[in-house]
Structure 1
Amino acid sequence: MTTARRRGRPKGESGSRDLIVAAAEHEFGEHGYDGATIRAIASRAGVDSALVHHYFGAKADLFAEVIGIPLRPDIDVPAILQGPRDQVGERLVRYVLEAFERPEVRRRGVTVIRVAVGSKVMSQPLIGFLSRELIGRIAGTLGTPDAALRATLAASQMAGLLMTRYVVRLPPIADAPIDELVARVGPTLQRYLFE
């Protein structure tokens, strides 16, 4: 008589998720975002690479988990770029600022910014993630020879705004209403991306 297999997670895998995250921290720290592979992370964790995909999906998902990225610009920004082109700059600024107004996003986001600025070990994987998953995707939609520069300029504008408003808390930017910042910064992003 054969016993039917139970559905769900196989026995003995309760700590696998934590092992995968710890292994990914090491791999991203040693090899950067581009150099780290799911196969190497799985090997370091002592699990099959299919289990890594089971828990986290793609490498971007695992990286977001490891460093605690509170937003998924690699998923959300392409959707913003699909809308009316003349409003992309304002929609990008609004998306980021409204997200950072949520306390859990702000707390984790400020931590990620501080780590990126203060830790050489973790700044390189973060740069790789942003270059490939955000800037590369934006540049891919622009279709211009200088698309990478345009996307990077837009990203630098947003990084400066986040640093000024949420990390340094420099008045009056820290206290300005979101609508005012959208109206002032949105056209700059629009110009960087499309003009």
Structure 2
Amino acid sequence: MPPARPAANTGRRAHQRAGRADAKQEIQEAARTLFASRGFTGTTMRAVARAAGVDVALIPYYFGNKEGLFAATLDFPLDPRAKLDEVFGAGLDGIGERVIRTVHGLIQDEQTGPALIAIIRSAVADESANSAVRDFILNVILEGYARHIPGPDAHRRAALAASQVVGLAIGRYVLCLPPLAEMTLDEVVEYVGPTLQRYLAEEPPRAAPTPPALRAEGTAPPEQEGERHTGAVSRSQRGRRTARR
């Protein structure tokens, strides 16, 4: 009786993994090239596997998903989408404070901090890396926010929230601007938390109706204009009657 096909496939994949110790590095290099030329959306895991000469099953085996692979090409040691899911997992109540404390914790961490700061610096100073970082923010961070935000304007609110977080990170941790860099974490949460909370969890304020344009000085309202016109007609008619007499 011939051996079962699934067992043979499993054996081949195991042999491939054992025989390609450098496969992970080759996948990263191929992905970095494709992400740079095609962008995040235009790059598929099959295309990366084909360029690296490996089985496509090795990508989720090493990196989990495309977001994890993209983060790896930026030398970021965790999947940011999974981290955002974790932060939003407790609900929207207090989400502004949790986002700030999570970002602070990641930057202070010995493993994730240097990588995160390097990504931020490259986005500001290195034009060659700017498009990759922009893709990272657009397709990983913003989408990670938007999937948890209710309402039709989720992507707008996600972009506003991301701009707040990126600006805070640049000012506090990269440029070290005083007094922002000297504030305690609790103080930053107190000032910035409500703004993020409004972007991420609250309904946007409705614009007040535009008041009617102010009339030119000396112009009477319509009803007064009508009274003036009527009075003028009456006086004219009286004048004609007097003239006939």
- Residues in 2 aligned to 1:143 and 1:6: alpha-carbon distance in whole angstroms: 46
Cα shift readout 1:58-98 (whole Å, capped 9, x = no counterpart): 11111111102245331122232232433110111111112
1:92 counterpart = 2:114: no
Specify the alignment match of 2:230 in structure 1.
none
Q: Which runs of 5+ in 2 are unaligned?
A: 1-10, 204-245
Q: What is the identity, as a one-letter code, of the residue corresponding to 1:36?
A: T
Structure having the higher helix fraction is 1
- Residues in 1 aligned to 2:44 and 2:154: alpha-carbon distance in whole angstroms: 27
Q: What is the identity, as a one-letter code, of the residue corresponding to 1:169?
A: C
Distance 1:137-1:109 versus aligned 2 partners, 3 A rule:
closer
Residues 67 and 79 in structure 2, CA contact (< 8 A), matched pair in contact too: no
Shift of 1:6: 10
1:22 counterpart = 2:18: no
1:177 counterpart = 2:145: no
Deviates more, 1:56-65 or 1:118-127: 118-127
- Residues in 1 aligned to 2:49 and 2:124: alpha-carbon distance in whole angstroms: 29
- Residues in 1 aligned to 2:40 and 2:196: alpha-carbon distance in whole angstroms: 26
Q: 1:124 aligns with which of 126, 131, 141?
A: 131
- Residues in 2 aligned to 1:21 and 1:39: alpha-carbon distance in whole angstroms: 13
Specify the alignment match of 1:102 in structure 2.
109
Deviates more, 1:117-126 or 1:153-162: 117-126
Q: Which runs of 5+ in 1 are unaligned?
A: none
- Residues in 1 aligned to 2:85 and 2:30: alpha-carbon distance in whole angstroms: 30
Distance 1:48-1:155 versus aligned 2 partners, 3 A rule:
same
1:1-195, aligned counterparts within 5 Å?
A: 10=16, 11-193=18-200, 194-195=202-203
Distance 1:6-1:70 versus aligned 2 partners, 3 A rule:
closer
- Figure out how many residues of one structure are paired with residues of the other and give that number: 193
TM score, norm. by length of structure 1: 0.88
- Residues in 2 aligned to 1:181 and 1:72: alpha-carbon distance in whole angstroms: 25
Q: What is the identity, as a one-letter code, of the residue corresponding to 2:159?
A: T
Residues 30 and 48 in structure 2, CA contact (< 8 A), matched pair in contact too: yes
Distance 1:7-1:22 versus aligned 2 partners, 3 A rule:
closer
Residues 100 and 109 in structure 1, CA contact (< 8 A), matched pair in contact too: yes
Shift of 1:172: 1.5
Deviates more, 1:166-175 or 1:81-90: 81-90
- Residues in 1 aligned to 2:44 and 2:82: alpha-carbon distance in whole angstroms: 20
Residues 71 and 80 in structure 2, CA contact (< 8 A), matched pair in contact too: no
Distance 1:34-1:84 versus aligned 2 partners, 3 A rule:
closer
Specify the alignment match of 2:214 in structure 1.
none
* RCO higher in structure (CA 8 A, sep ≥6): 1
Structure of larger gyration radius: 2
TM score, norm. by length of structure 2: 0.71
Q: What is the identity, as a one-letter code, of the residue corresponding to 1:133?
A: V
Shift of 1:102: 2.0
Distance 1:94-1:66 versus aligned 2 partners, 3 A rule:
same
Deviates more, 1:118-127 or 1:57-66: 118-127
